[in-house]
Structure 1
Amino acid sequence: MKANVGGIDKVVRIGGGAALVGLTVAGMIGPWGWIGVVPLLTGVFGFCPAYTLLGIKTCPAEKA
């Protein structure tokens, strides 16, 4: 797995995912909020399978 999620993208994914999971645990939203685990994990690991399929990469360019 080569990293394809970088910088601001990571912060948004981790923040949004944590918010959804937190709201679900607090009982403020329904069980659909557990979907927040997906962006949370993709942000933490820096890899998004959908980005690979679509050819998207938000990481800075690699040095040759």
Structure 2
Amino acid sequence: MKANVGTLDRSLRIAAGLILIALSLAGVIGLWGWIGVVPLATGVFRFCPAYPLLGINTCKVK
């Protein structure tokens, strides 16, 4: 897996994932908040499987 998620994109994904999971644990949004695992995982692993299909790469090319 080649990294295709850049720094800003990664930070936003991790933050959004953690917020969704926290809201779900607090009982604010119910079980749907666990969908936050997806952006959290893509942020941690720096790879989004949808990006190659769409031709997107937010990671800086070296």
TM-score range, shorter chain: over 0.9
TM-score, scaled to structure 2: 0.95
Structure 1 residues without counterparts, runs of 5 or longer: none
**Identity rate of aligned residues, in percent?**
65
The count of corresponding residues between Structure 1 and Structure 2 is 62
Aligned-residue CA RMSD (Å): 0.6
Which of the pair has more CA radius of gyration? Answer: 1
Instruction: Specify the alignment match of 1:53 in structure 2.
Output: 53
Detail structure 1 runs of 4+ shifted over 2 Å in the superposition. Answer: none
TM-score, length basis structure 1: 0.92
Structure 2 unaligned runs (5+)?
none
**Aligned residue identity for 1:57:** N
Query: After superposition, what is the alpha-carbon deviation per residue over 1:34-58, rounded to whole angstroms, capped at 9, x for unaligned?
Result: 1110000000000000001111000
